Amino acid sequence: MKRRSRRMRRALRSIAFHESGHAIAAWCLGVRIKKLTIVSSAGSLGHFHHGKIHHPRGPEFDMDNDRMRARMEKSIKISLAGGLAQRKAALGSYQLSQWRYDYEQAVNAAMYCCGSARTSEAFLKYLNAATEDLLDQPLNQKLVRALAHELLRRRTLKGKEVKTFLISEFNTIRLNALAARAIPCE
């Protein structure tokens, strides 16, 4: 029984980091967070819901349209961020199957943007690296960790609760850095 509960805690921790990765990417990219949960339902282990990014409509996508491309890039980065955060936090529990849906969303969006498999693959590789860079920033690493722990504690957070928590955590981290003189006073 102990072994099963330990496995369950490890799985929930992995899911919490996954969902927190989505949320931190969205927050950093200026996308509204609606809900974050590690309560499983409908075949999914957890959920992250964000506000509209306003994907382009219709069969034509113009990669030369900066606004259109930026929206698609945000969507893809948010999709990729969950699995990347999960992998960084808990290598032993990371499995591609756990974030297959997110990755398929990213691939489909890239194919829509680029058209060819070769260009889509290069585009995804670039966005994956950019998302890793975003999550590798020390502040964002701390925010992912803090949000994951809060999510483990509360199981579900509404968008306003996530925003309030992140702002508070951001300010705490900044104040601690100032106190340690890691950030020069301005």
**Domain ranges for the chain:** 2-179
Cβ atoms < 10 Å from Cβ of 105: 16
Name the pTM for this structure: 0.86
Cβ contact 158:33 at 8 Å: no
The mean pLDDT of the chain is 84
**Into which CATH architecture does domain 2-179 fall?**
Up-down Bundle (1.20)
> pLDDT digit string (tens) for 109-153?
888 888 889 999 999 999 999 999 999 999 999 999 999 999 999
CB within 8 Å of 69: residues ≥ 6 apart: 63, 113
Any idea what the Cα angle at residue 178 is, between residues 90 and 24, rounded to 5°? 35
Q: What are phi and psi of 67, to 5 degrees?
A: -65, -45
Structure-model confidence comparison of residues 45 and 83, the more confident one:
83
Strand, helix or coil for residue 8: helix
Q: Specify which residues 150 forms β-bridges with.
A: none
Cα separation, 63 vs 72, in Å, equals 10
Q: Provide the token pair at 45.
A: 């282990």
Say yes or no to pLDDT of 185 above 50.
no
Say yes or no to pLDDT of 157 above 90.
yes
